[in-house]
Amino acid sequence: MISPVDIEITNKILSSIAEEMGIVLQKSAFSPNIKERRDFSCAVFDSRGRLLAQAAHIPVHLGAMPSTVQEILRRFVLNPGDIIITNDPFAGGTHLPDITLMAGVFPDGKPPARFYLTARAHHADIGGITPGSMPLAENIEDEGVLVPPSYLARDGRINHELVEDLMSRVRNREEREGDIKAQLACIERGASRLDELVSREGQDRIEARLDPLLDYGERVMASVISGLPGGVYEFSDFLDNDGLHAEPVEIHVRLQKKGKRVVVDFSDSAPQVKTGINTVRSVTCSAVYYCFFCLAGEGHPINAGSLRPIEVVTRPGTILDAKPPSPVAAGNVETSQRIVDCLLGALSKAMPHIIPAAGCGSMNNLAIGGTRPGGGKFAYYETIGGGMGAGPEGPGLSAVQVHMTNTLNTPVEALEQEYPLMIEKYAIRYGSGGNGKFRGGDGIIRTYRFLSNARVTLLTDRRRIAPYGLSGGHPGSTGKNILYRKGQDTPEKLQGKTHLDVAPGDRLEIRTPGGGGWGKSKFDDF
């Protein structure tokens, strides 16, 4: 018998190892996107590639990571000193800027691996037709360099040919190399901690606790699903457009409880489109898992067992299960948010007194690149928070990253120190949250003044279709992107998804959406 105390201690130890890996990665990274915004995730897997524990990092990374690990183990047998690198969205990845490193852990110094460690980080540039590698492209080759699962190191020797090929095709080589080295450092720390654990507890004792730990995760999720009322619940929500055409793009979900299991079916969603709002299946699964982890609440294990009661159904060739070589850059950041909105909408029909209204529904992606005034190229990427949806227990928070992004807003000081940019305004967008018994959270206003010529990419949504309210609450305000050209009096309203060139003195203002309100306001009858 394995005691519940032993199971819980093992869960906390493994989770703490993933958290410490993240701390090392953050402290070691070069780019503000990783060291300031914390756009990375770390996880621990067992010898069979089953997720054991993850840190409280980025939901869209973590839910997809098991798919990456299984794909790597299908292709490779890892030995001591081997490290795999990949960013392939169609091999369990998310989008090209998210580079994943994976290595085995060999406490006795000999194969087979007893554990596997992964570190996924969003690199501010991975090549492609625009700086920041988040273009409105029609082919994945234009989004950047695709690295299929490959040896970054073998038997402890770095694959310099692969590194040189990758670095020759990205912008800001020093920053890219620094961030990859930070990922290597965090995996080394995780391996060290697991070696210490095995040395202290013994491999057999640790492994004896793993199946019970996964079974515990399954029981927790099965209990959550059992609390759902029986029935079938359907909901549709829409992306504003695909960036090329004006028509909205539908995401449709059919949620069905089957005992202690649930089937989440997206088969009736729109066909895949020409642009990067397409999503790979691993991201769709990640968004679904996130919603049910939220229902489970804090303190419970998140592992492969937690995923067993959840079946995700997609139809290949649709917006949520795109086929290669479809572009997918925005699917990871924008479409994933709408999947959450859609599934929470369906859950609100089953659990109306638990589910909150829609959050801002966009990561409000901004990529900027160009040449510094003193020479040298730069590439910068960030997401901007918005309003959280109000819920039955109170109003939504303002100016926060919601749902599938768990990053931070980049501090003004860090941005201005690293890049030829000036932040003229950074404020809460008061009044943008939806009204109701409880108001939705307000969005953000962030205004950039450019100090050099640059190329700008915007991948944003909820600019036309507002975040919904629930139980009589009003929708949140849609977002706006506005350009002020130097010397011109009339501002230019920008599309939600666009590229543009800017010059010194030009200003870009991004107003992010507010969250939806919850419940009917007592003032609605006036």
Average pLDDT over residues 58-72: 86
Report whether pLDDT(511) > 80: yes
Confidence of residue 300 (pLDDT cuts 50, 70, 90): confident
Confidence of residue 407 (pLDDT cuts 50, 70, 90): confident
Report whether pLDDT(297) > 90: no
Residue in the structure block whose two tokens are 């929470």: 344
**What's residue 120's pLDDT?**
94
Confidence of residue 188 (pLDDT cuts 50, 70, 90): very high
Considering the entire predicted model, what is its pTM?
Answer: 0.95
Residues near 335 by beta carbon (within 8 Å), at least 6 away in sequence: 239, 251, 277, 278, 279, 283, 319, 320
Average pLDDT over residues 284-301: 91
User: pLDDT per residue over 352-363, tens digit each?
Assistant: 999 999 999 999
Helix (H, G, I), strand (E, B) or coil at 522: coil
**What's residue 49's pLDDT?**
96
Helix (H, G, I), strand (E, B) or coil at 84: strand
Contact criterion met (CB below 8 Å) for 85 and 101: yes
**What's residue 169's pLDDT?**
94
Report whether pLDDT(525) > 70: no
Average pLDDT over residues 186-196: 97
Q: Angle 4-28/203-226 helices, nearest 10 degrees? A: 100
- CA angle 110-115-121, nearest 5°? 120
Measure the CA–CA gap between 87 and 79, rounded to whole angstroms. Answer: 21
Q: CA-based diameter of the chain, in Å?
A: 76
Residues near 84 by beta carbon (within 8 Å), at least 6 away in sequence: 72, 76, 78, 101, 102, 103, 149, 150, 151, 152
Confidence of residue 281 (pLDDT cuts 50, 70, 90): very high
User: pLDDT per residue over 132-171, tens digit each?
Assistant: 999 989 999 999 999 999 999 999 999 999 999 999 999 9
Pick the most confident of 39-43, 52-56, 280-284: 280-284
Average pLDDT over residues 493-520: 97
Within 13 Å, how many C-alpha atoms sit on residue 472's CB side?
12
Contact criterion met (CB below 8 Å) for 280 and 321: yes
Share of the chain above pLDDT 70, in %: 99
Q: Per DSSP, what are the bridge partners of residue 263?
A: 256, 311
Contact criterion met (CB below 8 Å) for 257 and 343: no
Measure the CA–CA gap between 258 and 230, rounded to whole angstroms. Answer: 8
**What's residue 523's pLDDT?**
74
Q: What is the mean pLDDT of the chain?
A: 94
**What's residue 526's pLDDT?**
60
Average pLDDT over residues 36-44: 91
User: pLDDT per residue over 45-59, tens digit each?
Assistant: 999 999 999 887 677
**What's residue 39's pLDDT?**
87
The DSSP bridge pattern shows strands 497-502 and 377-382 to be unpaired
**Backbone torsions φ then ψ of 505, nearest 5 degrees:** 95, -20
Nearest to 245 by CA among 277, 268, 269: 277
φ/ψ region of 65 (left if φ > 0, alpha if ψ in -120 to 50, else beta) reads alpha
User: pLDDT per residue over 201-246, tens digit each?
Assistant: 999 999 999 999 999 999 999 999 999 998 999 999 999 999 999 9
Confidence of residue 130 (pLDDT cuts 50, 70, 90): very high
Nearest to 49 by CA among 16, 81, 76, 22: 76
Average pLDDT over residues 445-474: 97
Measure the CA–CA gap between 497 and 242, rounded to whole angstroms. Answer: 8
Measure the CA–CA gap between 102 and 72, rounded to whole angstroms. Answer: 9
Average pLDDT over residues 472-493: 96
